[in-house]
A and B are shown apart, each in its own frame.
Chain A
């Protein structure tokens, strides 16, 4: 009885919608978040390769959130060895975890380090421009 009344309600709703327009709501449409980060080290002449960086990020996640955190799908899309700047991609549900584990990481191989998160956006295109560096002359 209850099931059939629900079905009737749904059918009724569909009929009402099909007569007019259709409204589509996208909640949090972007599946990934993109971060531009830079690793600042105490000893500025240290070389960090892309593989080292990826391992380091996974170890940061593991130290704060354990194996579940380390299982997060973080990708390094671009990496510049000169400035130690990387473009990371992470699923949106893991953004807070990744960001906080990067923030709380203080040491890289016995030297003090800091991750400076420069830009964060759900859209990769938005990372191309930085309005804070804009010179309005």
Chain B
């Protein structure tokens, strides 16, 4: 038989127009980040939530989705970190993962775009990812725009994902040393492909930057995600695996970039909330404790 490309679950279109870049991941445990270009305060933006069409037109085949909030840092003034909208407000009924019986997982992700260490941000440079503002996000990503910050984020920062910019010529060249350091720590590099769908210049930048990255990191610890802003910007996982060949990845690396490396990122993100990945804490019921004390 042939390889049937899996389908992705697209949420249904809803009456109220709230625009959201929602990326669905298939029975591949892929994390795809959609970028929500907006001001820091989410309430001012227009979002559209896409729901599965009736009848289910095309399940694209993903099992985990991440909604991305972009937070641009400037050193000029203090900005609020956006707080994520609870998932239940965005989507009523989560579509079921194709071939399984559980619904898809939707996570929140924060991408910090930085060019230098800012006095206003404590994280990620001081390694305090458990600040209240950042706790609400399941995944943390950083997009460095200078070489110095790239080096720092590879070696020191407590992030899960380092985004490679695809909308402009690379501002710096990749060096083997920080990249190997990041690979040892379990941090992954991300290339996004939605901008390549719009413009031929963007396409050139995407492919050029991705090829550059693959040469330096030899195809390890890479994820390919969509920064989709609407449902039509999504592509199925096998399409992206095929795209990996354009970026210089081998077949196996390409498939990993969509499946096992993404799962590794999710696990890495979960362990940030724990102590060395072993112990985690959770709020317990308070009444039980008081009863014990009283008696």
Contacts and interface: CB of A to CB of B under 8 A. Distances in A.
Interface of A: 34, 38, 40, 42, 63-64, 96, 99-100, 102-107, 112-114, 116-123, 126-127, 129-132
A130 B243 CA distance: 23
A116 B236 contact: yes
B5 A113 contact: no
Summarize A's interface: helix, strand, loop or mixed: mixed
Contacts of A118: 4-5, 7
A17 to B, nearest CB: 33
B230 interface: yes
Given A42-B232, A103-B235, A131 B242 contact: no
Nearest to B206: A104
11 contacts: A96-B245, A104-B196, A106-B233, A112-B232, A119-B4, A120-B5, A121-B2, A123-B2, A127-B2, A131-B1, A132-B7
B98 interface: yes
Contacts of A127: 2
Nearest to A38: B58
Given A64-B203, A118-B5, 5 more contacts: A103-B240, A112-B232, A118-B7, A120-B4, A132-B6
B295 interface: no
A44 to B, nearest CB: 10
B239 A99 contact: yes
Q: What 6 A-B pairs come out closest when comparing CB atoms?
A: A121-B2, A106-B197, A126-B2, A103-B239, A114-B232, A112-B232
B281 interface: no
Contacts of A119: 2-5
B44 interface: no
A102 B198 CA distance: 13
B238 interface: yes
B99 interface: yes
Contact of A120 (B3, B99, B193, B233): B3
Contacts of A106: 197-198, 232-233
Contacts of A38: 58
Contact of A104 (B234, B243, B245): B243
B267 interface: no
